Amino acid sequence: MLEASMSAGAETGQARAALALLAVRQSLWQRAGAQAIGALAAGRGTFRHPYAVVFLSEVLTRLSLDGPPALADSVMAFAVARRPAVAHYREMRALAAIRAGFCDVAADEFIELRQFGVERADAPALMRDCRATERAKATDARGVGGNGRMTGPPPAKPGAHR
């Protein structure tokens, strides 16, 4: 019905935001992300109806906290690019970036939030956890476990054939 109303000339941003809300409530993450991006792209600085903002706020929050990390980060990057003055979008981008393992992006967004007068009390702890996870992944990638022992197969002896 909403898709039909869009083709009949309804306000695209509001209709897409409503479709995104329906999708996110059903955990249809890809569809929710696509519709949210469509709603953000359709808006020209402001939305004609307040419902689009309310719908998008729930969609972007749920996507950031519960959706696939890479998708959430991508959608939130678009949201911040389209609406850089919306502090809530920056906060959700920071949280999505942490979930996706992009600690530097999260740190940048937490710093930007301070310019809005918003400071999350848990930001330092979130950043510590993100950096610890980042270090653990880097260590695992080098083939060394947390106990300092090699986790992969032993190195081949010189001259030995496998």
Does 81 map to a domain?
A: yes
Q: Do the Cβ atoms of 45 and 55 come closer than 8 Å?
A: no
Whether the predicted pLDDT of 127 surpasses 60: yes
Domain that holds residue 78: 2-43+54-141
pLDDT at residue 156, rounded to an integer? 52
Does 154 map to a domain?
A: no
Q: What are phi and psi of 150, to 5 degrees?
A: -65, 140
For residue 106, give Cα distances in angstroms to 97, 127, 146, 148.
5, 8, 25, 29
Residue 12's pLDDT band, with cuts at 50, 70 and 90, is confident
Whole-structure pTM value: 0.78
Return mean pLDDT, the chain: 84
Does 160 map to a domain?
A: no
| Least confident among 2-6, 13-17, 50-54, 56-60 | 2-6
Q: Which residue reads 């942490």 in tokens?
A: 98
The CATH number covering residue 67 comes to 1.25.40.10
Does 147 map to a domain?
A: no
N-to-C CA span, the chain: 63
Does 58 map to a domain?
A: yes
Bridge partners (DSSP) of residue 150 are 144
Q: Which residue reads 């950096």 in tokens?
A: 131
The tokens for 139 are: 């260590």
Does 68 map to a domain?
A: yes
Does 62 map to a domain?
A: yes
Does 152 map to a domain?
A: no
Q: Which residue reads 């270090």 in tokens?
A: 135
DSSP 156: P
Per the structure, the count of domains in the chain is: 1
